[in-house]
Chains A and B, each alone.
Chain A
Amino acid sequence: MEFGPHLMLAILEGAVGAAVLSLTALGLSLVFGVMRVVNVAHGEFFMLGAVLAWFVATALGGHPAVGFVAALVVAPLIAGVIAAAADWLILKRVEYDPEATIVATIGILYIMQQSALMLYGPEARPVEPPFNSRIALPWVEWGENGLALFYPWGFGTTTYKLFVIVAAAALLVAFWLFLTRSRFGLIMRATQLDRETALAFGIPVERVYALVFGLGAALAAFAAVLIVPISQAHYLMGGDPLLLSFIVVIIGGLGSIRGTILAALLIGLSDGIISVFFSPTLAKILATLLVALVLVFRPQGLFGKKPA
């Protein structure tokens, strides 16, 4: 029972991370793809989702599942509305100038983070998972006395972690259908392809932008609600998801949604595996440097196409 089970465990942990990361990064990628702006405050919408989940769960009380389901609906909705309002009040007025948008979203980042500090406080607080029974996974190994079976005391995971993976995958599929099959998805893709022509065809581009910005934030908030029963809600928790989402979006190719999801799986899994076997700080240093170099030498990302 040495390397194998640890690897299995690392892959499982990595898959949970990858599931959450793919949702968060998808939000960032969507905003960059359609609006061509970088939302530096994206991590704070993730934090907002987690903090709202705590507020909703505490306010409702009762069985943890009630609060959790309510949070899954309410938190992304509120985060989305706040983001759309920020877009309407601030980003629209700087005309989505890339640099001004970055500065403005840095401002929004601090406003949200510090408001959370004032209203929610500096503590990290847990949210109870709706269900959380342990599943023991069997493990067979060739030991000293021949074949040995480790069960149920080998290693295990929890039902909740499996649920996170399934829920994220379901949402990704739903989002894909929404983007490729629905009318609003079509409008979004049209705006992404050519803003001017879309405008000429009567698409209310400004309203589409506000919706896309809200949708991006809602995805991050949804991911946060999923992860908050495993980690905890804290006002500074937005930094890591932001950095990882940046990494994923860049590796996947700026604006390419398929690339983003592939990269999220790659980065999430390897992040989980590396941090089980190596120092997490070293892993982060290498990952960050690697991404910077990808951006320098292959700006279209690993999966992106070269711009014409």
Chain B
Amino acid sequence: MSETGKIWALHLALIAALIVAGLVLPAYHQGNLARILVLATYAVGYNLLFGYTGLLSLGHAMFFGAGMYGLGLAMQHGDVSALPAFVIGLICAAVLAAVVALLALRTIGVAFMIVTLMFAQSAFLTVLYFGEWTRGDEGFVLQQATRQIAGVDLSEPTNRYYAALILFSAALLITLKLVRARFGRVLVAIRENEERTRMLGYDCFRHKFLAVVLSGTLSGAAGAAYGLLFGYVGASFTGVQYSIFPLLWVLLGGAGTVIGPFVGALFMFYLIDYASGWTSAYMLIAGAVLVALTLFAPLGLMGELRKRWLRWLP
């Protein structure tokens, strides 16, 4: 089989497996997997920036939150129906990402991480400050009756699962297309050696800017979908922890691989799910995994796999 053939076969097989999983899994795991698919979409967005462009952001929760609150506030206070509210969420995330990109891309390295962290922290505090509308830490619940698109009730578990799967598949296939196209190649070139890419005549700033906006918009789509599918909008989703999670999933699954974010999110979700059964300090596992990854597997699961056996993995 040709390389392109193998790549498409692998990713379409993953989607097919997930379609089947929705039919055969028991309700509890179906619910979990729906959540994982939305979070994996978030990780896919994060990976575009971190894995392919080499920019480590510590503030992606602000994009996730922008999508979530864009949708949530429009539905709650604007009486907008679900689909246009989802689009509003996307626009909010894209605009925020563009503004952040214009400012933060002036810095490099450690400064970029700290600047994104600071912006995300102010976004989090802003959500708390406008507690009258956002209900702060407590958050608010989206009414079940409003959570439907074209007559399909998205709070019903099976519908919810397939809605999450559609979102995830779209994000997966868009990324796959993108990173194999010219644009994606330039991003990888920037990651590997920005100076040399500039010398070759590419506009690095424009590519990095687009990468931040795309990554932020995908993360925002995940945030909006999370609010819509699970019916809850809260400040905790914009906190530092939700900026660390996608980093963790991507590192675990393999930065710069298309299916890595999904693998990482799946693995970590069940690890934490299992750990929270016996201790309330389940984030201990996340910390230990982060340290272990930096020490023993800096390429992540899929990254190590690619290095050893599957050289063609995109």
Contacts and interface: CB of A to CB of B under 8 A. Distances in A.
Interface residues of B, number: 42
A38 B110 CA distance: 8
A118 B279 contact: yes
Given A104-B290, A281-B125, A292 B115 contact: yes
A285 B281 contact: no
Interface stretch (A107-115, A125-133, A172-180, A193-201): A107-115
Contacts of A38: 110, 113-114
Contacts of A239: 240
Given A102-B56, A288-B125, A292-B119, 8 more contacts: A94-B298, A110-B284, A111-B291, A114-B284, A118-B279, A289-B118, A296-B115, A299-B111
User: Which of B56, B103, B110, B240 is most buried by chain A, counting CB atoms within 10 A of its CB?
Assistant: B110
Interface in A272-299: 279, 281-282, 284-285, 288-289, 291-293, 295-297, 299
B150 to A, nearest CB: 39
Contacts, number: 117
B294 A104 contact: yes
Contacts of A110: 283-284, 286-288, 290
Interface string B42-82: 00000000000000101000000000000000000000000
B126 A299 contact: no
A99 interface: yes
A282 B129 contact: yes
A284 B128 CA distance: 11
B109 interface: yes
A299 B111 CA distance: 8
A286 B280 CA distance: 34
A292 B129 CA distance: 19
Contacts of A114: 281-284, 287
B283 A113 contact: yes
Interface of A: 38, 90, 93-94, 98-100, 102-104, 106-115, 117-118, 122, 239, 243, 246, 250, 279, 281-282, 284-285, 288-289, 291-293, 295-297, 299
Interface of B: 56, 58, 103-104, 106-107, 109-111, 113-115, 117-119, 121-122, 125-126, 128-129, 240, 244, 247, 251, 279-284, 286-295, 298
B281 A296 contact: no
User: Which of A113, A291, A296, A299 is most buried by chain B, counting CB atoms within 10 A of its CB?
Assistant: A296
B279 to A, nearest CB: 7
Given A102-B56, A106-B244, A285 B290 contact: no
A107 B115 contact: no
A103 B107 CA distance: 19
B110 A107 contact: no
A107 B294 CA distance: 9
Contacts of A117: 280-281
Contact of A103 (B115, B283, B293): B293
A111 B115 contact: no
Nearest to B104: A296
Contact of A281 (B104, B109, B128): B128
Nearest to B296: A93
B121 A107 contact: no
A293 B102 CA distance: 12
Q: Please list the 7 inter-chain residue pairs (A to B) with the smallest Cβ-Cβ separation, ordered nearest first.
A: A110-B287, A107-B290, A114-B284, A107-B291, A292-B118, A114-B281, A111-B287
Nearest to B239: A239
B114 A288 contact: no
A90 B129 contact: no
A46 B81 CA distance: 47
Contacts of B283: 110, 113-114
